[in-house]
Chain A
C-alpha cells in the first residue's frame, strides 16, 4: 500500500511542478466590461460616466474581514487622488443590502458604493477572491487585478494609481 501511494504521490508532485512552472503568456490590456448598477442613495451609476479618469473598483462584502479592514484606507486614497482625475467605486456583492448599510453607518465612506445584488458584475469581472480590486486606466482598459488585502497593500494601490494618473 505504501508503494502504490508513493507512486501516485510522486506522479502528482511531478504534474503539479510542471503545471506551476509553465508560465502564462502576458496578455494585452483588455477593455473593462461595461456595467450599470444602483448606488447608495438610489441613483444608477454607469462605468462609462468615468471615461477619461483612472478608476479603481473594489469588490467587497460586510462579511469579509480584510474588506472591512481596508475600507477606511480606501476612503483616504479616494480623498487624496480624487482631485487628480481619479475615482474609486465600491461594489458590494451581497444579495441583501442590510448588512452593508449597517457596516457603512459605522465606517462611512464618501466614494460611490454600488450594489451588485445579483452578482452580475462580479461574474463579468471574474472575481476570484474577496476582496478584489481592479484598476482601469483613462482609456477604459483593465491594467491590474489585485486579490485579497494584507497590511501594506494600500501602498501598492497608491503606486498603481500614480502610474496610471501620469499617463
Chain B
C-alpha cells in the first residue's frame, strides 16, 4: 500500500475515532478556560488571508505543487 494510502487510512481512522468518542462524555484535556494562549492571534494558522493567498499563488505558478495548504489561489498568473 502506498504511503499516501496509508496516511489516508490513518486520517480516516482518526476521524472515525473522534466521531465515536464525541458522543461519549470524555472530558477534553484542554479546558475551555485554558485556551487563552491558543486564542492569541499569533497562534492563528492564517492571520492574514489576503497576504497568504498572494504568496501561495506565487509558489503555485513557479512550481508544480498545489493543494494541501488550505486557502485557494486563482488564475493563470504569469508566463
Q: Touching in the complex, A and B, CB below 8 A?
A: yes
Binding site for B on A (CB under 8 A): 1, 5, 8-9, 12, 15-16, 19-20, 59, 61, 63-64, 93-95, 116, 119, 122-123, 127-130, 132
B32 within 8 A of A: yes
Question: Could you list 15 further interchain pairs (A-B, Cβ under 8 angstroms) beyond the known A19-B23, A127-B33?
Answer: A1-B5, A1-B9, A5-B12, A12-B16, A12-B20, A16-B23, A19-B24, A61-B39, A64-B39, A93-B33, A116-B33, A122-B31, A127-B32, A128-B32, A132-B32
Docked-complex contact A61 and B20, CB < 8 angstroms: no
Do B39 and A63 touch across chains, with their CB atoms under 8 A apart?
yes
**Which of B19, B24, B35, B40 is the one whose CB lies under 8 Å from A130?**
B35
CB distance from B39 to the nearest CB of A (A): 4
In the complex, the answer to whether B35 meets A63 with C-beta atoms within 8 Å is yes
Chain B binding surface SS class: helix
A93 to B33, CA, bound (A): 6
Report the Cα distance A122→B32, complex, angstroms.
9
Enumerate B34-52 residues with CB–CB distance to A below 8 Å. 34-36, 39-40
Where the two chains meet, the residues of B that have a C-beta atom closer than 8 Å to any C-beta of A are: 5, 9, 12, 16, 19-20, 22-24, 31-36, 39-40
Picked from A1, A16, A127, the residue with its CB within 8 Å of the CB of B20 is A16
- Which residues of the partner chain B approach A119 to less than 8 Å between Cβ atoms? 31, 33-34
Number of A-B contacts (CB under 8 A): 48
Q: Once the chains bind, are B36 and A61 in contact (CB under 8 Å)?
A: yes
Chain A residue at minimal CB-CB distance from B1 = A1
User: Given A9-B16, A12-B16, A122-B31 in contact, is the A20-B23 Cβ separation under 8 Å?
Assistant: yes
Q: Give complex CA distance A19, B20 in Å.
A: 9
Chain A residues with Cβ below 8 Å from B33 are 59, 61, 93, 116, 119, 122, 127, 130
B34 CB to nearest chain A CB (Å): 7
**Which residue on B lies nearest to A148, using beta carbons?**
B32
CB distance from B21 to the nearest CB of A (A): 10
